[in-house]
Amino acid sequence: MFKTLKNAWRIPELKKKLLFTLLIVVLYRLGANIPVPYVDPQIFQDASAITSGTILAYLNILSGEALGKATLLALGVSPYITASIVIQLLTIAIPVLERWSKDGENGRKKITALTRIVTVVLALITSIGYAFYLNNAGFLNVEKPNFFHYAVIVLCYCAGAALVMWMAEKINDSGIGNGISIILFANIIAGAYSMIQSIWSNILPATGFSVVGLILSIAEIIVLVGMIMLIVWMSDAERRIPIQYAKRVVGRKMYGGQNTNLPIKVNMSGVMPIIFANSIVSIPATIASFMNSDGGFATWVAKWFNYDSWIYFAIFLVLLIAFAYFYVAISFNPVEVANNIKNNGGAIPGIRSGRPTVEFIKKVLGRITMVGALLVAFIACFPLAVNNICTMFDFTGFTALAFGGSSMMIVVGVALETTRDLEAQMSLRNYKGFLD
């Protein structure tokens, strides 16, 4: 990865894109520390003051601790990601959106405009709930906030979400691409300091050096390194279905007669199941934020839908596997793949063309998806399970590791994807023809 960045830095055009991307990331980090009017400045002393002990802790990680500080960019990329997911799903269900998706550049512009509108609407709804949550938790420096106070706070958060959306699109247009992924990567890396602090506090607590804390911290580091290795292996793992193409004569030339394969990635859905599942399980907390923190529903949500409860763990696990199958079902069409193979004169050895080929691809895809879903569930849920077990014994040293699997998967996935994109751009610029 570092060698790829070094080589890309030597190409003036890619160097300019890297510098522009870095500038956008720096501007985002500055915006993540700009306070919002009427919010108590004491929150800045502890970035987890708002989200500590709640399922909003994961959203705080994705926002680079901006949500915990209640700053201008507190909503982060969440509204834009949710809007993109919603539009992507509706593209399959609504014929008009499906036509737009197949209409080239003109259709893409229409879908982008619709995504922006949905992003602003979701940001408005989320910021209203967040403003009420801040008031109920006592984080506003106004005793009796009125409509004007709420309006200022909500408009600031909506403007922040729109600004993040603009930054991500600028990275796509003038940077190295993958704007949302790059911002997520930067936010999680920025929050790594808190994890290091947590590990260090286990080794050197207020009472002095702790041998038990040192052993547990080493175990925590080993788990993180193991997860990184598993994620890298899983990102490159694939099942290759062999395909043979028959020879055919066109004019005086003979085509085909070659053997190739159809690669099916083990983790075809990537981190999307994690994002989907976290969006669903955070709905009760979002609804509870509109209500009084002492109310029955808010208390029930805090008890049963907190990230250290086994009910949250079970729901999250089921949703991960379900969304892995769902995302693969909407993004990979075995019928279309089988027809393309047949139209190009190809066939899977031992399998007849047509429906038998479709059934064979579906069977292989189902097995591969199950393996990928279980691996993603293991990476995301294993740290949660360890944290829950430690919480049962009143040990909080693994709290920082609770969402380590999900965060690590995003970081490693973005790093690998960005490296591949840079290598592809460099290969285009260093391409040599047969006369060279």
239-243, long-range: CB < 8 A, 24+ apart: 239/263, 239/264, 239/266, 239/364, 239/368, 240/264, 241/348, 241/360, 241/361, 241/364, 242/348, 242/349, 243/341, 243/346, 243/347, 243/348
Judged on CB neighbours under 10 Å (0-12, 13-18, 19+), 56 is buried
| Burial of 239 per CB tally in 10 Å (0-12, 13-18, 19+) | middle
The stretch 151-179 carries a mean pLDDT of: 90
Domain annotation covers residue 436: no
Q: How far apart are CA 310 and CA 384, in angstroms?
A: 9
Kindly state whether residues 138 and 215 are assigned to the same domain. no
Q: With contact defined as beta carbons under 8 Å apart, do 184 and 410 qualify?
A: yes
Q: In terms of domains, do 263 and 177 share one?
A: no
pLDDT band at 435 (very low <50, low <70, confident <90, very high): very low
Residues 6+ apart with CB under 8 A from 106: none
Other Cβ atoms less than 10 A from the Cβ of 286: the count is 18
- Does any domain span residue 283? yes
- Do 104 and 242 have their domain in common? no
Domain end residue (candidates: 136, 160, 187): 187
3-state secondary structure 285-347: HHHHCCCCCCCHHHHHHHHHCCCCCHHHHHHHHHHHHHHHHHHHHHHCCHHHHHHHHHHCCEE
The answer to whether position 371 is within a domain reads: yes
The answer as to whether 409 is a domain residue is no
Residues 387 and 330 in one domain: yes
Residue at which a domain ends, from 168, 187, 206: 187
Residue 180 backbone phi and psi in degrees, to 5: -60, -45
Residues 138 and 243 in one domain: no
Say yes or no: 229 and 179 in one domain. no
Shared domain for 58 and 199, answered yes or no, is: no
Distance in angstroms (rounded) separating the CA atoms of residues 432 and 260 = 25
**What is the arrangement of strands in the sheet containing 259-265, beginning at the earlier edge strand?**
259-265, 238-245, 346-347
The token duo for 412 is: 């490693």
157 pLDDT band, cuts 50/70/90, is: very high
CATH number at residue 197: 1.10.3370.10
| Confidence (pTM) | 0.77
Residue 249 lies in a domain: yes
Question: 252: which 2 tokens?
Answer: 């005086």
Looking at the fold, whether 16 and 119 belong to one and the same domain comes out as yes
Residues 359 and 383 in one domain: yes
Compute the mean pLDDT over every residue in the chain, rounded to the nearest whole number. Answer: 80
Q: How many domains does the chain have?
A: 2
64 and 105 inside one domain? yes
Mean pLDDT of 220-241: 84
Looking at per-residue pLDDT, the higher value among 433 and 202 belongs to: 202
Q: What is the pLDDT of residue 52?
A: 54
Please choose, from the candidates 156, 201, 189, 181, the residue with its C-alpha nearest in 3D space to the C-alpha of residue 61. 189
Q: Among 10-14, 43-47, 121-125, 374-378, name the one with the lowest average pLDDT.
A: 43-47
Q: Do the domain assignments include residue 411? A: no
* Domain around 55: 1-187
For residue 382, pLDDT beyond 70: yes
At residue 33, does pLDDT exceed 80?
yes
* 433 located within any domain: no
Q: Are residues 122 and 239 in the same domain?
A: no
- Is the same domain home to 154 and 221? no
What are 330-342's pLDDT values in tens digits? 778 888 888 888 8
Q: Specify if 195 maps to a domain.
A: yes
* pLDDT for 427 beyond 50: yes
189 has pLDDT over 60 = yes
Predicted confidence band at 153 (pLDDT cuts at 50, 70, 90)?
A: very high
Cβ atoms of 122 and 157 within 8 Å: the answer is: no
Question: Residue 72's closest CA among 80, 59, 63?
Answer: 63
Please report the pLDDT score of residue 232 as a whole number: 85
Q: Which of 192, 205, 176, 203 is nearest to 425 (CA)?
A: 176
Q: Rounded to an integer, what distance in angstroms lies between the CA atom of residue 59 and that of residue 395?
A: 23
